[in-house]
Chain A
Amino acid sequence: MINLETPKKHKAFIEQAHQVAMNMLRPISRKYDLAEHEYPKELDMLAAMVDGLESSGASEGAGATGVRVDKPTEEGNKNGSNLASVLSVAEMCWGDVGLTLTMPRQGLGNSAIASVATDEQLERFKGTWASMAITEPAFGSDSAAVSTTAILDGDHYVLNGEKIFVTCGERSDSVVVWATLDKSLGRAAIKSFVVFKDTPGLKVERLEEKLGIRASDTAVITFTDCRVPKENLLGSPDIDVKQGFAGAMATFDNTRPLVAAMAVGCARASLDLTRDLLHQAGVDVDYDAPANTQSAAAARFIQLEADWEAAKLLTMQAAWMADNKLPNSLEASMAKAKAGRAASDVTLSCVELCTGVGYAETELLEKWARDSKILDIFEGTQQIQQLIVARRVLGLTSAELK
């Protein structure tokens, strides 16, 4: 039966995430926006609490590792850890996107491990804080252009190359690195490796200074003859030209709804505050009256809220499909595309609606308008999502629709 409400079974847990976001993240939100690169030590205690919730089962399997595909357990409609994860990530990002991204042991690398690791690897990498290293100086969206090499030498792969834009690259204790086994074999030869930070040859070169999500560190990492145990290769070491890139890209089907959820959470922070500030300024939205018979501010607000609602429901759809073992590549990209652009429009418009109050650092509206921009870029830009959706809808290959 069609029902698009937040699942009853997740409500208590999501309310808990909301309380954490409100009482733990918001009070330090501006502090770490101003003090970029300073480690938010407050998060250690929070991370310990999240670990506790995870092991007690109270978190409904939510979190960075909630994207793991479990074996089917029950018949019929399922609301599982994917849905719990996007809803709780949205709540945390309502608190602060940058701080959420730098939550210990909740990195995108953890999601990647959860997505593709074998049970043995999952056990071995338990408790690690893994960041994700894909991008290189010479490419961004074109992930197939990976030039970092991994050459098998005895029981180890030897990694050489440079990775940029590694979220939590300094703070994490391991990195999931994308490297090619043989550049001449193209996409199929690209594999991901879990590399611990204390591995000789791995060096964090520097940290970026950014427009937003300044609480989260973004690192440049180099690999120079860095020897990684061969059992740290995620997935199969075989180069299956037929399967091509599909294996590596499968990670994105799982992480894109999470990033969409970040956008949904960040945009809701702007909407919530703006609704209140407009109310104090004497403007209230009347949902029954036609938008054009209300003030321009109220009409604008309704438009923003409508796009936000769509972004949220597309995100829930993509996660729900994952919970129900339905292929969701198209829906994940739809969610990311809509949420990414809606978050930009919402957060920037809220600054405009609240004018000077929105633009000044006394409120957080200007910060959210800076934080939101990255959400339409990482894990696949707006344009990459449109490309994926277009290819799917039109039935075209990447050779036909470039």
Chain B
Amino acid sequence: MSLTGSFKPGGKHGLSSKESRDPIGIAVAALNRVAQSDLIDRLRLRKTTEAVVYNATKSGFKAATTASRTFSKKGKRGQAGVRVKPASSSGLFDLNPTEDEQMLVQVVGEFAEEAVRPLASEANEACAAPDDLLKASLEIGLPILGVPEDLGGISEERSAMAGTLVAEALAKGDMGLAVALLAPGAVATAISLWGTDEQQQTYLPEFTGDSVPSAALALNEPSVLFNVLTPATKATRTEDGFVLNGVKSLVPRGGDAELFVIGAELEGQPVLFLVESSAAGLKVEGDPAMGVRAAGLSKVYMRDVKVDAGAVLGATDGTTYRECVRLSRLAWCALAIGTGQAVLDYVTPYVNERQAFGEPISHRQSVAFMVANIAIELQSMRLVTYRAAARAAQGKDFSREVALARQLCTQRGMQIGLDGVQLLGGHGFVKEHPVERWYRDLRALGVMEGGVLV
């Protein structure tokens, strides 16, 4: 290993590979490296017996997940599972949610305001959702929203619209915690939508029971210009099943997940696989990011992970996978709307109370128009997302509608986050106010794939 070679910039510390170091730069970099190195510690013979434990706030500790249960196989492999019917529409334009949906939104909305919001700041620091909150979310039925009634859930018909409204209401409390709370439901809903009889009988009773497993839908990968439709994670067919190799990133609650739905390429098509966390060769490490930190984001490493022939979730021709990607994007749009609403509700009283030049700053058009545009674009995001959600619930093609919703929530949602901070000026930049967190959270739009699903 040449010294100069190892000091070539690029790939670290945010440096592009176009940077170059001159001799003084190399000397400074070397000095810095020695100063940081635990070599000094080791020379002093400090015992480095630190166990390799999962740490959600840091990357670089690979570990097996902290929890895993044995899911005993039940039901018939290859036999289609139970499916709920699509929602039926009267054909009229209507912006009123159903009575059931109104009730759900009210319950979840109160939960978000009273239980979620007060914990958001701390959970952001800890990169984890508090256990008590996770337990409370089970009581309001979050994980089984998309599970058919016949299988112990609460869904009588396709619940994409209800799921969208619930995700929005939760994210008004906090996006990171909302993702943590919705993560198991994403897997339960996926199994309900596409699972075989065996998969539904094996896994769903765990979600509808008292001890709901942590579970995660893992579609993201750590690559630039990542296209979710062409995952680098590979599945290869073996005699009795499949072998998976690859890395998934930004996976919610990967550290304590007991069951994963993993996206991988199989014979040229993107396919979903059910992978239990106890599988040999599966390792997880913390993958903290700019925002959505309370979701305990993680990387999942798979090295020759073997799954049996019944592990494929849905079709192997890419259709299930695409549907899954669309429904996941829909959920992210709903989250952006909730967070955007939180921003609007926060800046409105602030600009009315904050004084400058002898009057509230809201009395100036440059401030007031920013608030007006937040309101206009937020409602834009909401209507376009609702249209996609209603189409999904009715079993109609919603690929176009969800793409437009995602585009709008990415662009306009980020603008709302940006303006939220700007309207508070310097106060928006410090953690005393939540707008800086919402700014970081809203950047997740257009980046995140998977994790949540309606």
Binding site for B on A (CB under 8 A): 1-9, 77, 79, 83, 287-293, 302-303, 305-307, 309-311, 313-314, 316-317, 320, 331, 334, 337-338, 383, 386-387, 389-391, 393-396, 400-402
Contacts and interface: CB of A to CB of B under 8 A. Distances in A.
A389 B362 contact: no
Nearest to B397: A287
Contacts of B384: 306, 309-310, 313
Interface in B313-370: 322, 325-326, 344, 348, 351-352, 360, 362-363, 365, 368-369
B218 interface: no
A338 B399 CA distance: 23
A338 B90 CA distance: 29
A1 B387 contact: no
Contacts of A394: 348, 351-352, 362, 368, 371
Contact of B404 (A293, A302, A383, A402): A302
A370 to B, nearest CB: 25
B97 A2 contact: yes
A4 B227 contact: no
Contacts of B407: 291, 302-303, 305-306
10 contacts: A3-B92, A5-B391, A8-B92, A77-B96, A79-B92, A302-B407, A305-B404, A306-B404, A314-B383, A396-B368
B225 A293 contact: yes
B411 A401 contact: no
A393 B350 CA distance: 13
A309 B404 contact: yes
Contacts of A395: 352
B379 A2 contact: no
B176 to A, nearest CB: 23
A6 B396 CA distance: 14
A2 B375 contact: no
Contact of A320 (B90, B93, B226, B368): B93
Interface size class on chain B is: 35 or more
A4 B383 contact: yes
Interface string B381-397: 10110110111001000
Nearest to A83: B93
B95 A2 contact: yes
A48 B400 CA distance: 39
A2 B381 contact: no
Given A7-B93, A306-B403, 16 more contacts: A1-B161, A2-B95, A2-B389, A4-B383, A8-B91, A79-B93, A288-B229, A288-B326, A307-B380, A309-B404, A314-B380, A334-B379, A386-B372, A389-B376, A393-B372, A394-B351
A313 B376 CA distance: 12
Given A288-B326, A309-B384, A334-B379, A1 B89 contact: yes
A86 to B, nearest CB: 11
A381 to B, nearest CB: 12
A7 B92 contact: yes
A1 B91 contact: no
A374 B394 CA distance: 38
Contacts, number: 175
B373 interface: yes
Contacts of B229: 288-289
Nearest to A313: B383
Nearest to A290: B227
Nearest to B96: A77
Interface string B236-271: 000000000000000000000000000000000000
B94 A2 contact: yes
Most chain B Cβ neighbours within 10 Å, of A4, A9, A79, A337: A4
A390 B368 contact: yes
A6 B400 CA distance: 16
Contacts of B383: 4, 310, 313-314, 317
Contact of B408 (A306, A317, A390): A306
Nearest to A299: B407
A389 B375 contact: yes
Contacts of B227: 289-290, 293
A401 B368 contact: yes
A151 B22 CA distance: 87
A83 B325 CA distance: 33
A394 to B, nearest CB: 5
Nearest to B407: A306
B403 A302 contact: yes
